[in-house]
Amino acid sequence: MNCIIIDDEATARMIISQLCSNVPSLNVLEEFPNAMQAIKYLNQNEIDLIFLDIHMPDFTGFDFIDTLKNPPKIILTTSDPNFAIQAFEYDCIVDYLVKPITLDRFKKAIDKAEAKKITTPKEVSKSEKVETSSGNDLYVNIDRRLIKIDIPSIYLVEAKGDYIQVKTEDKNYTVHSTLKKIEDKLPDNLFLKVHRSYIINIKKIIDIEDNSVLIKKDVIPVSRSNRPELMKRLNLL
């Protein structure tokens, strides 16, 4: 597998590169000290696997993933164990390695990466389809029942671990799914992912201040990477 390493610490990049040298199936193409350099590289090159640090200056590992339309397999490498649950939101993340990383644990992560098949929206199987849409309707599977939701009535979708909460004008729904899956079902002209945990209906925005938006009574954070797209979508005077 062709791979790259993204970590702001030179020592960490060297250690991961050494670990990769112990696995014949891995071919390290490049190493990057920040996400922006990696994004430029990925715009022109295809790879199979990324070793990605979470905590980096200006641009976190999750912010980086949010910029990728079709991310490859990703193994998170971090000194912070507190983001493991959040990592499960992303289908592309195959493992979560906490530094210092042992060779045995590293090899287990590579085994997972080699076995993992990343599914695109067109490849999702029937068993994985928690939401199906038709026109202005979205059907969510709750307690083995398909509940119809009027899409324009949705003003917010929030990721909560293995679940998402869909908030509408009339009612809130908790669905066993991921933000990525429902994002693929919602129309781009109405909805925008403004943070790794939130999708908003831009028509329902009441107020914007600094890096947050007010929708109904919910104050939603807007990540630095998503703010430019939000401002582009607004009808500014």
Query: pLDDT value at position 236?
Result: 67
* The pLDDT of residue 110 is above 70: yes
* Token code pair at residue 155: 């003003």
If pLDDT is split at 50, 70 and 90, which confidence band does 135 have? low
Instruction: Measure CA 173 to chain center.
Output: 21
Residue 129 confidence (pLDDT) above 50: no
**Helix, strand or coil, per DSSP, at residue 163:** strand
Tell me the mean pLDDT in the region 200-226. Answer: 89
- Residues ≥6 apart with Cβ < 8 Å to 108: 95
- pTM comes to 0.55
User: pLDDT (tens digit, 9 = 90+) per residue, 156-170?
Assistant: 999 987 789 999 988
How much is the average pLDDT of 6-26? Answer: 95
Question: What's the pLDDT at 127?
Answer: 35
DSSP-assigned letters across all residues of 60-80: -HHHHHHH-SS--EEEEEES-
> How far apart are the C-alpha atoms of 64 and 52, rounded to whole Å?
9
Mean pLDDT calculated for residue range 23-52:
92
At 66-104, the pLDDT tens digits run 878 778 999 999 998 888 877 877 889 999 999 999 999
Q: Is the Cβ–Cβ distance between 215 and 206 less than 8 Å?
A: yes
| Residue with tokens 């696995």, as numbered in its chain | 23
Mean local confidence (pLDDT), 145-157: 90
The pLDDT value recorded for residue 227 is: 87
pLDDT of residue 178 exceeding 90: no
Tell whether the model's pLDDT for residue 5 goes beyond 60. Answer: yes
Query: Residue 112 CA to chain centroid, in angstroms?
Result: 19
Lowest mean pLDDT across 127-141, 179-193, 219-233: 127-141
Contact in structure between 92 and 74 (CB atoms under 8 Å): yes
Residues 7-22 as b/e (b if ≥16 CB within 10 A, e otherwise) read: bbeeebbebbbebbee
Alpha helix ranges (H) inside the chain? 10-21, 35-42, 61-67, 84-87, 103-115, 179-183, 227-233
Determine how many CB atoms are found less than 10 A away from the CB of residue 151: 18
**Range of weakest confidence among 15-29, 135-149, 193-207, 209-223:** 135-149
215-232 tens-digit pLDDT: 988 899 999 888 888 888
Alpha-carbon distance values, 222 to 39, 115, 142, 172 (Å)? 20, 35, 29, 22
- In order of their start, the domains of the chain are 2-118 (3.40.50.2300), 126-233 (2.40.50.1020)
- How do 93-98 and 205-209 pair as beta strands? unpaired
Distance between CA atoms of residues 199 and 128, nearest Å: 20
At 47, the pLDDT band (50, 70, 90 cuts) reads very high
CA distances from 187 to 56, 174, 183 (A): 32, 20, 8
- Could you check whether the bond before residue 100 is cis, i.e. omega within 30 degrees of 0? yes
Mean per-residue pLDDT for 172-178?
A: 87
What's residue 125's pLDDT? 38
